[in-house]
Amino acid sequence: MIHTGLNNKTVVVTGAAAGIGKATAQRFAAEGCHVASWDVKEGEPEAGGMFQKVDVTSTASVDAAVKEVMDRWGAIHVLVNNAGILRDGQLVKIKDGALASTMTDEQFDSVISVNLKGVFTCTRAVVPSMIQSSGGAILNASSVVGLYGNFGQTNYVATKAGVIGMTRVWARELGKFNIRVNAVAPGFIATDMIKGMPEKIIDAMRTRTPLGRMGQPEDIANAYLWLASDAASFVTGAVISVDGGVVTGT
């Protein structure tokens, strides 16, 4: 059995009301961690943990949540920057030779604000407590599309590629404080968002995945757990693909 060294550690998970975030909060709680679950939606705390309604795009909201966690547990050892949204659309869409639509400013700005600025805002707020605690682990949600691109996702791909860039910068800046920073790049994961897609789209996703199945939220949660654990103590600045070997297409 791998010794994780995570028992009684304090973990913040953003976007924890459902999906991968919820599974991640549950996995850390099962390891004996104190888990602070953050989301803009209503949610439930894990056993022994707390749920906080937090807007990751708001410095005031994040700072207040960090203070509440620190007041309760005195430290933050792990931050999982999982919160993210989709606002898909083509850069420009042509129909019958004419411009039919474009990706709007709102579509672009809202995704950048949550998926990229939100990671920045939460990490900036949590790092001082990690320095005080002589180290920690920051885990950022990228995506397979951040590595390879994807049709109709200019905004989302920009954020997920940007997260990889920030991960590598912070690994360099924070290593001297014994803070490790890594990213996970999920493939096609069976969340509620995916399950609502047409069956033919889901079948196409499975076909592109050599392991022949959709990933489960628990697959990503397990990757986060390992990266946060003592077993990954010499891993920083890495991007771990958890995608079943997916082959992306056009």
Task: Give me the catalytic one of 51, 73, 156, 188.
Answer: 156
Sign of CA dihedral 109, 112, 117, 119: positive
Give the whole-angstrom CA distance, residue 188 versus residue 191.
9
Sign of CA dihedral 66, 123, 146, 234: negative
Asked whether 79 and 129 are in contact (CB, 8 A), the reply is no
Residue 104, phi then psi, degrees to nearest 5: -85, 165
Has 156 been annotated as catalytic? yes
Residue 93, phi then psi, degrees to nearest 5: -120, 125
Please give the positions annotated as active site. Answer: 156
